[in-house]
Amino acid sequence: MALYTTLHLHNVPAGREADYATWFEGPHRQALARLRGFREADRYEVTPQQIMPDIAQPWRYLSVYDFELSHPQIDLPALGPLLAEARDAGLIDDSKQSERIYSYELFSDWKASPNWQREQPFSGISLILANYTIGRYEEYQDWYENVHSIEVINVPGHVAMRRGVLAATQIEPRRYCPGDQLVLCAQQTDDLMFTLRDFSARAGGRSPSGIAMQPRSQAASFARTVHYFSKISGTRFWPGGIAYAGDLSVYAPKN
């Protein structure tokens, strides 16, 4: 058995946010429960705070689906028709052909730091669609696993990381993927900006903590995109550390 995660990066038509949330938490979850190897699924919404604010954020929403599978070539495609239901119902805004579905085979489950409060939910997640420098794959994996992952998950607010490689089996509709290496980092914080600032300060050797990250490995390509999302399904943090259940983003005040 191996762990797989499928990312559904998408947008929802204006005014249909509540409809999508109802579909996801109702009939979609019921259908997911019948899939072989299915473990869990959660929804996220892009945050205004980003570690690299100049990088485009073409997706407002991210859904993450986790599986444990022996035969991914048989079982992973079964998610496709379930996502097609949202598309057919007009719940996906693909007017700019921005929808993406990427599946990755994970190297391992969550690698945790002492920051992880296991009794508390994740408040958000960040993902990097990453690449390694050609000819330096082993060096890239060694640096990420034994150096950089430890540095990242020990930043206050960051709690765990898992990584993977683009799976041989992909779900239709297939579209260009900018990174064959996946980095998922989980957060538990109600002050994401503090986390991002300290991350940058540690990377630049300027953190008040006195902790400085090692220089970035040349085995890691700069051809990557970085995206931070807050959790909007299940139980999550509200400012002040209070946890609540459900998707309340659809009730947020509109400007």
d(CA 54, CA 56) in angstroms, rounded, equals: 6
pLDDT at position 237 is 44
Residues 104-147: pLDDT tens digits?
Answer: 999 999 999 999 999 999 999 999 999 999 999 999 999 999 99
Residues 154-185: pLDDT tens digits?
Answer: 999 999 999 999 999 999 999 999 999 999 99
pLDDT at position 77 is 98
pLDDT at position 246 is 44
pLDDT at position 234 is 78
Lookup result for tokens 């409060």:
117
Categorize the per-residue pLDDT at 222 as very low, low, confident or very high, splitting at 50, 70 and 90: very high
Q: What CATH number has the domain spanning 2-251?
A: 3.30.70.100
d(CA 227, CA 2) in angstroms, rounded, equals: 25
pLDDT at position 178 is 96
Percent of the chain with pLDDT over 70: 92
What mean pLDDT do residues 92-97 have? 96
Mean pLDDT (the chain) is 93
**3-state class (DSSP) for residue 100:** strand
pLDDT at 60 over 60: yes
**Cα dist from 227 to 47, 57, 127, 142, 209, whole Å:** 8, 7, 5, 23, 25
Domain boundaries, the chain: 2-251
pLDDT at 233 over 60: yes
pLDDT at 187 over 90: yes
